[in-house]
Amino acid sequence: MKHLSRLAFSDRRVFMLLVLTSVLIGATIIGQSYFFVAIVDRIFLGEGRFQDILPLLAGLLLVLAGRTLFTWLNGRTGIKLASKAKLYFRQSIIDKYARNPVQASLQGQSGRKVSVLMDSVDEIDGYFSSYIPQMIQTMIIPLMILVVVFTQHLYSGLIMIITAPFIPLFMAIIGVMTKKKSEEQMEKLNTFSGKFLDTLQGLTTLKLFGRSKQQKEEIESSSLGFRDATMEVLKVAFVSSLMLEFISMLSIGLIALEIAIRLVVYESVSFFTAFFILILAPEFYLTLKDFGSAFHTGRGATGASNLLAEELEKEEQHIQWGSGKLEGKQPPEIKLDQMSFHYEEGFAMEELTATIHSYNQVAIVGKSGAGKSTLLHLLAGLTKPSSGTIKVNDRSLFDYEEKEWFSQVSYISQHPYLFSGTIAENIAIGGRGNHSKEEIQEAAEKAGIAELIASLEKGYDTPVGEAGRGLSGGEKQRLALARTFLKKPSVILFDEPTTGLDLKTERVLQASMEKLAKTATIITVAHRLHTIKKADQILLLDRGYLIGKGTHEELLETVKEYRDMVTVQQGGNSA
């Protein structure tokens, strides 16, 4: 919340505009009341002619137009303020996400992040467009009215001063009372409201067991339960506005009574004063009540605002790249020197030391949770080691220019991501800028997907939206390979798929890797025995520790865990 108010008042010009328009609204409210009263007074008691009040009518029209105009201006300023705030938050969040490389390894959180970027930012709109302007109005307009009333009639002013604090007071009391009650109801509400979705999701199962008809009563009873629980919460809110209504009503009644008695019994006030005050009093309480509803809108933004602040304040792992150039024609030599990595959730990788020579084929092996993917991310330069270094050609990886490094690297994941666009665009994204159609086709050819593309009506221009809907896992895998063939990198990081690939893709993968190995170093998180067997070096991981390093034969000889793993695998499948 503090975050938001600081932002709201940061622009002095906007703030002054809000104050100015509020003052003008206050003035037009008073002016409007004055003219109405003056006209009635002149005609009713003064028994003036119609011509006499024409200037007053003109003045009234002007004031009414002014009130509309200033209210509009005030509202527009609020809307602009809201747009500016949303723009600021959305940009900051996007920039924040872009800077944080850990993001890359935490794919699971993407859904939540989209919702922060979309919904949370939208939710703060009300705070700026209605709460802030209304708050400023509430600070100014009642005060102006009060001053005018005091100049007209002291006692009415006093009644207003005494009764006004009851409105925020009651609001606060009721707020506290409702909070507990609505929290009690919240749990009930969640169960009830989830029931409909739950039933819909289970409909297939229900139908297969012939039970779908019976669910109607369940839906009805839970919907009605939802209604009753909601009404409990709402009733309290309604009672709260009922009380506010009573307070303002009673106060206005009190003022009216007091004026009437003075008017009739003591004859100490004029009709003009009395009517004037009577018209101003409701405006006074109305502004206070309006603040009540705006306050709720403001409160509604609290959750979203906290979420945004939390997201922005999260510690980030910014990677600082240098400006070094990668020299030499052959793939770089990569060294891991006492590299450790810790992540908040307790996962740790301890003191890894290894050397990967040019054109080496390295297999990373280990149980799930051993840290295989994390190691791949570290090697890619997507994540920064907590201590120790990754050396590329004997210089720290992060001494190089970011672009220089990534232009040498390809990363083929188990589930390659396809962007919305055509197939050609999706292949070209792997490359370095402008590629001719022929180059793209050649890459597709090498990746064994050209035939499939040719069979499609639109060929290379076929759109593949939403993460490649309509393509099978194997086809996506081959498309990712085409990207790599186009890029011709010198380091390839490959997260080998476990199961579910079609034969064609299996064959293509194996052949492609052999081809690519001629020009690049390949580091694979390996699941296939043949990949492991032909590796120049195997890195065996266990819960973040490197427990074995060497070729297949060497590890079979020396590392018991490796021997066990291979035996279990062969035993498990031949059964």
Partner 1 sequence: MKELKEVIRLVVLEKRDIVLSIVFGFLAGMSAVGLFGASGYLISRAALIPPLYALTVLIAFLKLFGFARALGRYAERYFSHRATFTILSNLRLAFYKKLEPHAPRIFQKYRSGDLLSRIVGDVESLQNFFLRVYYPPVVLVIIFLGTVVFASIFSISIAIVLLLGLVVTGLLIPAWYTVKQRKLASRVREARGELSTEAAEWLYGFRDLKIYQQLEDKKEMLHQSSDDYIRESERDSRQMLSSHSWNTFATLLVSWIVTGLGAFLVAEGDLNGLFLAMLVMISLTVFENAAPMAVLPSHLDDSKRASKRLFSIVEEENRGTETYNLDGKLAPSMQVCDVSYRFPDEEREALTGVTLSIPAGSKTAIVGASGSGKSTLLQLFMKFQIPSMGELMVNGKNITEISEESIWENSNVVLQENHYFYGNIRENLQLAGEDLSDEEMKLVLEEVGLEFDLDQPVFEKGENLSGGERQRLSIARAFLKGKRLWLLDEPTSSVDALTERMIFNHLYERASQDTVVLISHRLSGLEKMDQIIVMAEGEVAEAGSYDELMQKQGHFYEMKQIEKNIFST
Map the footprint of partner 1 across residues 202-231, applying CB under 8 A. Answer: 202-213, 215-216, 219-220, 223-224, 226-227, 230-231
24 binds partner 1 (CB under 8 A): no
Among residues 437, 431, 440, the alpha carbon closest in space to that of 406 is found at 431
The string of DSSP codes covering 157-214 is: HHHHHHHTTHHHHHHHHHHHHHHHHHHHHHHHHHHHHHHHHHHHHTHHHHHHTT-TTT
Q: How far is CA 499 from its chain centroid?
A: 34
Give how many residues touch partner 1 by CB under 8 A.
156
Q: Are 216 and 207 in contact (CB under 8 A)?
A: no
The residue from 151, 154, 184, 201 that contacts partner 1 (CB under 8 A) is 201
Which 512-531 positions form the footprint of partner 1 (CB under 8 A)?
526-530
* Alpha-carbon distance values, 252 to 37, 65, 256, 304 (Å): 17, 27, 6, 38
Which 87-116 positions form the footprint of partner 1 (CB under 8 A)?
87, 90-91, 94-95, 97-98, 101, 103-105, 107, 110, 113-114
416 binds partner 1 (CB under 8 A): yes
Which 36-65 positions form the footprint of partner 1 (CB under 8 A)?
36, 39-40, 42-45, 47-50, 53, 57, 60-61, 64-65
323 binds partner 1 (CB under 8 A): no
Alpha-carbon span 512 to 8, nearest angstrom: 57
What is the Cβ-side half-sphere exposure of residue 353, based on CA atoms within 13 angstroms? Answer: 3
Shortest Å distance, C-beta 372 to partner 1: 9
The residue from 305, 410, 441, 537 that contacts partner 1 (CB under 8 A) is 410
Show the tokens assigned to 355.
């050397």
Q: Which is nearer to partner 1, 211 or 355 (CB)?
A: 211
Show the tokens assigned to 431.
């490359």
318 binds partner 1 (CB under 8 A): no
* Alpha-carbon distance values, 344 to 102, 316, 373, 531, 554 (Å): 11, 12, 16, 33, 35
Q: Kindly state the helix (H) or strand (E) to which residue 548 belongs, with its residue range.
A: strand 545-550
Shortest Å distance, C-beta 332 to partner 1: 16
Q: Kindly state the helix (H) or strand (E) to which residue 362 belongs, with its residue range.
A: strand 361-366
Binding region for partner 1 (CB under 8 A) out of 132-140, 170-178, 309-317, 564-572: 564-572
Which 254-313 positions form the footprint of partner 1 (CB under 8 A)?
256-257, 259-260, 263-265, 267, 271, 274-275, 278-279, 282
Which 471-490 positions form the footprint of partner 1 (CB under 8 A)?
472-475, 483
176 binds partner 1 (CB under 8 A): no
Q: Are 378 and 337 in contact (CB under 8 A)?
A: no
Q: Which is nearer to partner 1, 48 or 337 (CB)?
A: 48
Distant-in-sequence, close-in-space partners of 525: CB < 8 Å, separation ≥ 6: 363, 364, 372, 373, 375, 376, 494, 495, 496
Which 369-388 positions form the footprint of partner 1 (CB under 8 A)?
380, 382
Shortest Å distance, C-beta 342 to partner 1: 20
Shortest Å distance, C-beta 384 to partner 1: 13
